[in-house]
């Protein structure tokens, strides 16, 4: 019983320090803590990296998307808002490097890819200054039809996975022929998927559900039939965090989540790793 009261007193003292530090030092810790304290996991091999990024004050708008350049170890984040940097660049361990606001109006998605000789960043800009070059598919509920297709990724077998958010399903296609290979909808009866990515080992699919403020860890199917969706675990975020798009590091397996409600990006690391960003 004495141990219980000692632990309780210690927890209260720690919380009081957080409040005082936030009040007098302008620290973003308390703001992040309010969003992170209610997250919980169930049979899921990830944990929140509370030390990422080192300084969250660079998040000054609605963080719509995030992309990982695993070759260079860089994290690109695009945010919306007036008179703010639209793209932020961090290292994977949380250090801010630079920002820019050139030619970007209303970023919605971002993709980063590098070779040994060149870095490339692609941004989906839904502002007024764009041109439609081509369009594939049409609106509808049948196979190969879409309603708010929101995220695309390709697995190691050459299958293209599309988060068909409005139809509450993920559709799968052959990347070379475009053949429709099937769809998952049994996991998304409450809310459609807003983002889909694979873990580096190809064993799991990480799915974001925007309005539920939830991440799903889904078992990836073997080569061949995609079968039915099977949820292995969930990460329940705080209300109104609104995870929009996510990306996964090809080196560390860390998950980076762009949250438009919380106006921040959070990092989740595999349970078998340490907190590389905390206290360093």
For residue 4, report the phi and psi dihedrals to the nearest 5 degrees.
Answer: -60, -45
Share of the chain above pLDDT 70, in %: 78
Q: Which residues pair with 98 in a beta bridge?
A: 89
123 pLDDT band (50/70/90 cuts)? confident
**Average pLDDT rounded to a whole number, residues 71-80:** 95
| Residue 109: pLDDT over 60 | yes
48 pLDDT band (50/70/90 cuts)? very high
pLDDT of residue 24: 38
Report, at the CATH architecture level, how domain 40-126+135-270 is classified: 6 Propeller (2.120)
Cα–Cα separations (whole angstroms), residue 209 to 5, 16, 39, 206: 39, 33, 14, 10
The C-alpha atoms of residue 204 and residue 260 are separated, in whole angstroms, by 24
273 pLDDT band (50/70/90 cuts)? low
User: pTM value?
Assistant: 0.80
Q: In the structure encoding, which two tokens stand for residue 98, read together?
A: 């630079």
- pLDDT per position as a tens digit, 233-262: 999 999 999 999 999 999 999 999 999 999
Convert the chain into a string of H (helix), E (strand) and C (coil).
Answer: CHHHHHHHHHHHHHHHHHHHHHHHHCCCHHHHHHHHCCCEEECCCEEECCCCCCCHHHCCCEEEEEEEECCCCEEEEEEECCCCCCEEEEECCCCEEEEECCCCCCEEEEEEEECCCCEEEEEEECCCCCCCCCCCCCECCCCCCECCEEEEEECCCCEEEEEEHHHCEEEEEECCCCCEEEEECCCCCCCCCCEEEECCCCCEEEEEECCCCEEEEEECCCCCCCCCCCEEEEEECCCCCCEEEEEECCCCCCEEEEECCCCEEEEEEECCCCCCCCCC
The C-alpha atoms of residue 123 and residue 197 are separated, in whole angstroms, by 17
- Name the average pLDDT for the chain: 83
Q: What does the domain layout of the chain look like in residue ranges?
A: 1-19+28-38, 40-126+135-270
Lowest mean per-residue pLDDT among 53-57, 58-62, 122-126, 175-179: 122-126
Distant-in-sequence, close-in-space partners of 81: CB < 8 Å, separation ≥ 6: 60, 61, 62
| Residue 95: pLDDT over 50 | yes
């Amino acid at each position: 019983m004495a141990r219980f009261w000692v632990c309780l007193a210690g927890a209260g003292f720690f919380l009081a320090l957080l409040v005082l530090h936030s009040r007098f030092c302008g620290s973003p810790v308390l703001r992040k803590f309010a969003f992170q304290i209610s997250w919980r996991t169930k049979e899921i091999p990830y944990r929140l990296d509370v030390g990422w990024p080192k300084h969250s004050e660079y998040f000054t708008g609605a963080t719509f998307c995030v992309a990982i350049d695993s070759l260079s170890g860089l994290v690109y984040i695009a945010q919306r808002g007036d008179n703010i940097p639209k793209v932020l660049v961090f290292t994977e361990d949380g250090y801010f490097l630079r920002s820019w606001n050139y030619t970007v109006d209303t970023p919605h998605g971002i993709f980063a890819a590098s070779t040994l000789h060149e870095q490339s960043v692609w941004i989906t800009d839904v502002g007024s200054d764009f041109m439609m070059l081509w369009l594939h598919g049409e609106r509808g509920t049948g196979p190969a039809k879409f309603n708010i297709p929101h995220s695309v990724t390709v697995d190691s077998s050459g299958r293209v996975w599309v988060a068909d958010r409005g139809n509450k399903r993920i559709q799968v296609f052959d990347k070379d022929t475009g053949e429709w290979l099937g769809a998952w909808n049994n996991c998304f009866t409450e809310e459609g998927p807003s983002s889909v990515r694979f873990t580096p080992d190809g064993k799991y699919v990480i799915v974001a559900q925007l309005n539920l403020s939830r991440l799903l860890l889904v078992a990836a199917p073997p080569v061949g039939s995609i079968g039915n969706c099977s949820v292995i675990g969930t990460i329940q975020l705080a209300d109104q965090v609104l995870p929009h798009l996510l990306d996964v590091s090809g080196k560390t397996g860390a998950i980076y989540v762009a949250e438009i409600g919380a106006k921040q990006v959070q990092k989740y690391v595999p349970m078998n790793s340490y907190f590389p960003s905390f206290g360093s």
